[in-house]
Structure 1
Amino acid sequence: MPNLIFLPGASGSTTFWNPLINKLSHAESKQVIAYPSFGEEPSQESVYDFASLSNYVLQQIQSESIVIAQSMGGIFAVQAAIARPDLVKGLVLLATSGGIDLTPFQVQDWRTAYQQQYLNYPDWFMASQIDLSQHLEKIRIPILLLWGDQDPISPIAVGQALQQKFPQAELHIIHGGDHAFAEHYAEEVAVHIQQYLTHFNFQV
């Protein structure tokens, strides 16, 4: 039975997932991974750049899992799926870049606002530019893509591009959803995730 692993976005807020977790009926393991130096999480010497944070996240995945990831967390989720296909059995990606170049899309720059809003925000995280586009076709697991139609940070066109790149992906739109729709529309998001888990016979 795969675990459900939740990855926050760039804010590092683990409580972001609480409304959704409370709506998911499955009683098996649900794990939220906190990022060192983000939010209330203390720093660790082993985490000092994007690559070491990615490795830290990967080390937290110790058994077969479905990884549910918000925004920048989607990059870690995709990297984990590439590195450990034996453990990552499914992905649910919400409002993320997924590691593709967002230059062709008219996206709102979130970095400056986040740096002003969150104290002690790691500078190296702001400067990271990750391109995984050449690897996405290698990910052969079922992927659920969820996007809000009122999200200037990751517009629907990004989700549509990812749907084309992943071999086995399905895109659903949350009407009225902004970048934080997983928190604000938790009940609707939970329905999509339950259907995804049931359809692919993930007995979690």
Structure 2
Amino acid sequence: MTGFADLVARVVAEIDQPAALMAQSMGGVVAMLAALERPEQVSHLVLAATSGGMDMASLGAQDWRPLFAAENRTVPQWFIEYHEDLTHRLAELRMPVLLLWGDADPISPVGVGQRLAVLLPRAELHVFPGAGHRLAKNLAAQVAPLIDRHLARS
């Protein structure tokens, strides 16, 4: 892989029937780009603490890149440096979208989730008090029923 487009292409290549995409953090951008490329095949999105392809600094986010790069030296530079503004395309995502956020996440603050909830036509935002960036893992027992209910929506 030589760039973010290759990562998205790899995901899109695996979608051979209607599928729900679930992702966290930068994976959320991959899921959104895949959904934009194959909207007829993506039935639902579940996005946890993602950037959503928006200007994070303007929404009060802490820059995660320096610490992440220092702790993950094998991650390609293209991944760490990726920036793309998807805000002008988010209204194209017409599938149901579940947004999961923690109100104690400095990397993707609640304001990001709130902004995505406005920009995505069929989004539902759930905020977990005291939760940080890894809320999907740390609060799996609380998150799972929300995902089940979300996937039952058409």
TM-score by length of 2: 0.95
| Farther-moved stretch of structure 1 (110-119 vs 69-78) | 110-119
Question: Equivalents in 2 of 1:191, 1:76: separation in Å?
Answer: 24
SS at match of 2:136: helix
Is contact 2:57-2:63 (8 Å) kept? no
Is 1:103 aligned to 2:57, yes or no? yes
Where does residue 103 of structure 2 map in the other structure? Answer: 149
Structure 2 residue ranges without an equivalent (≥5)? none
**Counterpart residue type for residue 98 of structure 1:** G
Where does residue 57 of structure 1 map in the other structure? Answer: 11
Where does residue 84 of structure 2 map in the other structure? Answer: 130
Q: Deviations over 1:139-194 (max 9, x none)?
A: 11111111001100001000000000011111001122100011111000101111
Where does residue 192 of structure 1 map in the other structure? Answer: 146
Where does residue 90 of structure 1 map in the other structure? Answer: 44
- Give how far 1:97 is off: 1.0
**Counterpart residue type for residue 130 of structure 1:** E
- Give how far 1:108 is off: 1.0
CA RMSD of aligned residues (A): 1.1
The percentage of counterpart residues that share the same residue type is 43
Structure 1 residue ranges without an equivalent (≥5)? 1-46
Number of equivalences: 154
Is 1:168 aligned to 2:122, yes or no? yes
Question: Equivalents in 2 of 1:122, 1:86: separation in Å?
Answer: 31
Question: Equivalents in 2 of 1:90, 1:161: separation in Å?
Answer: 19
1:183 to 137, 143, 154: 137
- Give how far 1:119 is off: 2.7
SS at match of 1:104: helix
Stretches of 4+ aligned residues off by more than 2 angstroms: none
Question: Equivalents in 2 of 1:77, 1:178: separation in Å?
Answer: 21
SS at match of 2:57: coil
Which structure has the larger Rg over C-alpha atoms? 1
- Give how far 1:57 is off: 1.8
Is contact 2:100-2:113 (8 Å) kept? yes
Q: Deviations over 1:40-65 (max 9, x none)?
A: xxxxxxx1111111211211222210
SS at match of 1:89: strand
- Give how far 1:73 is off: 0.5
Where does residue 120 of structure 1 map in the other structure? Answer: 74
Q: Deviations over 1:11-47 (max 9, x none)?
A: xxxxxxxxxxxxxxxxxxxxxxxxxxxxxxxxxxxx1
- More helix per residue: 2
